[in-house]
Every structure is written in C-alpha cells, then in structure tokens.
Amino acid sequence: MQVFHDVAGRIESRPLLDWKAQGKPIVGYTCSYLPAEVFHAAGILPVRLRGIETDGMDIGDVYFGPFICSFPKCLLQLVGKGKYRFLDGAVITPGCDSMRRLDECWRKAGKDYEGVLPGFYYYFDVPHKAEGHGLQWFVAEIEYLIAEVEDYFGVEITDEKLRASIAEYNKGRRLLEAVESLRTAESPVISGADAFSATIAGAIMPRGEFTEQMAAWLEALEEKPPIDNVQKRVMLIGSISDDLELMRLIESQSGALVVSENLCFGARREGRPVDESGDPVKALADHYLGASICPRMYGKYKQRRALIEQKIEGANVDGVIMQNIRFCDLHGAENALFERDLEALGIPCLRIEREYGPMIDRGRLKLRINAFLERIGRRKRNAG
C-alpha cells in the first residue's frame, strides 16, 4: 500500500526512477482517453502527467494568462522548471480546450527553455462522439499513434503484443474492481485516500509491478477490520483531481469516508476490462472512447447521470461533493445539472470551485465541506 501513496504523492517516484535507470523510455500523457496499452506493448512506460509539486506560476501564467484552468498551467510550470526532463516523449490530448492549448504552449516553451520539449511530441486527437464515424476516426487515430511510436522508437507493435498488454492491464482493472467493491461495501475496509492512491499509481507505475502490488494489497486487506465510525458516506466527482489531500481533507472530518468517486484519475479511467477477443485496436477504441465518458463527449449527460445514480445506490452514498477547477466549463456546467437533478432525488450535493494545485484553498474548502457534512449528519439523524 505504501508504494501507492509514494507514487501518488510525488512525480519522481522510485518505480519511475528504477525504470529510467534501466535505460528504458518513458512517455507522458495528459488524458484518460489515451490507450496506455499502445506504449506498454512497445516496451515504453506510459506515465500520466500531473501538476503536483507546483510551487509557483511564473511560467504557466506567462503562456496561458490568468483566465484558464490551472491544471495545464501547473503542467507547463513543471515542464518549464525541468521537472519532466526525464520524459522521452509526451502525448497531448484535447480533453478540453485548455488541454488542447497545452500542446501549443509546450511547443513554444520548448523554444524558450532548452531541453523541455521531448523528442517524441505528439498530438493525439479524440473525437467528441463515440458512435459511428467518431469511433472510426478514433480507431484511425490509434493506428496513426502506433505508426508514429513504431517509427520514432524503432519498435514493432504487433496485434499479439497489444493483446498481451490489454491482458496485463485487465489484470489491474479486475483488481481495481475488487478494491471498488471493498470500499463501497456496507462496512468498508479501505479509505477513499487509499483507494485513490492505488488508482493514481496505476497510471504511473510499470503495470506489471502495479498488478503485483495490487494483488498483495488485496490479500492483506482480507485480514483488515472494517473502518470504525463511518457515518457519512461521501462520493467525490467533477474536474480533474489527483490530489490526495482533498480526499484526506474530507476524510479528516468526523465520521466521513469517500466510498465512491467518478474522477478521470480514479475509478472512471480504468473502468471495466477491455475486450480481449477480436481486433485489439478496435477493442481499445471501444473502451477508451466509449466506456470512459466525461462531459467533453456530446450527448452523454443522461448516461453519465445514470452512472452517478447507479454508483450512489451501489455505495449507499449519503451526499455528493462536486468539485471543479476554476474556469472548467465542462464540469462546472455539468455539476450544476447534477446538483439540480440529484437534489431533486433527495441526495444532498455540495458544489465547490477550486484551483488545481497543492491544496491552496484548504481553509475555504474545509469550511464548506464541514458545513455539508453537518447537513448530512443532521439528515441521517432525523431519518434514523
């Protein structure tokens, strides 16, 4: 378990440095729509890029300006400071318009700061519709990506290698499903922060090591007694968040536990196992474009609301905390709809707007979360 917290807690973690010390390449990527199996099949470590450890915005603000999501700004800040010099490649995905802008800002920063633009720098396009032409387009995008990776790194990514990588990733997905069922159970044995650190680590560690560590952790959990005094079962959803401190802040309040989430660094990213039969590229396209839907996708609100409602019921959630990064139109707008619809169903909701970064809003967020949990506590007492 500790290894997951170590990996989730800093950028240059031990497993990543070990991989680099062996002379093997690392490629960073920015979004949950990228099929990491493509890089795994090429013997490359795919690492989800994060903005933790940002301690200023003197570079990010210059390229992006003040009125934009702070996540790509934090990434660029770290890039400019040389924190990501270990990367052999980077893949930028237009998860939203702010992330699309990271592509051009990083390219420009590459001219201004020597050595910060990796040799392999690729823009991986993702359509906004998961059906028909959109899916065909995405299949073609994965094929282009494979060809570029093969060409630049001098490797061959065969269907057999892709199938083997899908199978390896699926092992982790099944283990994460087991973790999900433990945290959503009536008497959870794991905290939200522990579960979240494991899912974050899954996007960073070499996958084989991740699978081994997950299996060992799950075995150890069999002996673990349930967490005491769980009175307020919380769900956390919304904008990009890989901040364990936010999870810990919620869980530091009396009797609160995050029993479910739907974040792109969390349970939503891995989802269910990928189909292991048939064409692996098509299977990856179906999974990454079709299964991990976020508000960037057109016409999926009802499907997403149904998923959230299903998770609320499955985890017996008492209240939903919806966070969004300032200027995140996608999640900001969706959170307002979720709040309207879920409150109408009698599910208490809290919407909070925050900056991405190492919990700079701690006091402000704590007050809101505190008051929200008090509301849940009162409600449960009145009902009971």
Partner 1 sequence: MSIVAGCDVGSLTSKAVIMRANKIIGSYILKSKPKPEHSADAAFKGALAAAGLSVKDIACLIGTGYGREKMEFADNAVSEISCHGKGARWLLPSARTVIDIGGQDCKAMKLNSEGHVERFAANDKCASGTGRFLEVMAKVLGLEISELGPLSGKSKSPITLSSTCTVWAQADVIKYLNSGEPIENIGAGINIAMAKRVAILANSVKPENDVFMTGGVAKNKGVVSTLEKLLGMRIKKARRADPQMAGAIGAAVLAHEAVSSKESWTKGMEFN
Among 62, 125, 230, 255, binds partner 1 (CB under 8 A): 255
**Of 158 and 254, CB closest to partner 1:** 254
Least Å distance between CB 377 and partner 1?
Answer: 5
Task: Tell me: does residue 85 bind partner 1 (CB under 8 A).
Answer: no
Order across the sheet with 232-238: list the strands.
Answer: 256-262, 232-238, 319-325, 349-354
Q: Of 24-32, 73-81, 208-216, 362-370, which part binds partner 1 (CB under 8 A)? A: 362-370
Task: Tell me: does residue 363 bind partner 1 (CB under 8 A).
Answer: yes
DSSP class of 84: T
Task: Tell me: does residue 374 bind partner 1 (CB under 8 A).
Answer: yes
Q: Give the list of residues 6+ apart from residue 183 with CB closer than 8 angstroms, or none.
A: 189, 190, 191, 192, 195, 259, 260, 315
Task: Tell me: does residue 380 bind partner 1 (CB under 8 A).
Answer: no
Hey, what amino acid is at 223?
E
Task: Tell me: does residue 341 bind partner 1 (CB under 8 A).
Answer: no
DSSP class of 274: P
Among 136, 254, 310, 316, binds partner 1 (CB under 8 A): 254
Q: Which of residues 312-331 bind partner 1 (CB under 8 A)?
A: 326
Task: Tell me: does residue 186 bind partner 1 (CB under 8 A).
Answer: no
Query: In terms of residues, how long is the chain?
Result: 384
Least Å distance between CB 325 and partner 1?
Answer: 12
Nearest 5°: the CA angle 319, 333, 308 is: 40
Task: Tell me: does residue 252 bind partner 1 (CB under 8 A).
Answer: no
Least Å distance between CB 337 and partner 1?
Answer: 15
Q: Of 30-38, 49-57, 95-103, 372-380, which part binds partner 1 (CB under 8 A)? A: 372-380
**Of 171 and 375, CB closest to partner 1:** 375
Q: Is 122 in contact with 92 (CB distance < 8 Å)?
A: yes
Other CB atoms closer than 10 Å to residue 229's CB: what's the count?
A: 9
Question: Distance from first CA to last CA of the chain, Å, rounded?
Answer: 36
Q: Is 22 in contact with 216 (CB distance < 8 Å)?
A: no
Q: Which of residues 204-233 bind partner 1 (CB under 8 A)?
A: 231
Phi, psi at residue 353, to the nearest 5°? Answer: -105, 135
Q: Is 164 in contact with 43 (CB distance < 8 Å)?
A: no
Least Å distance between CB 109 and partner 1?
Answer: 28
Report the interface residues with partner 1, using CB under 8 A.
231, 254-255, 326, 352-353, 363-364, 367-368, 370-371, 373-375, 377-378
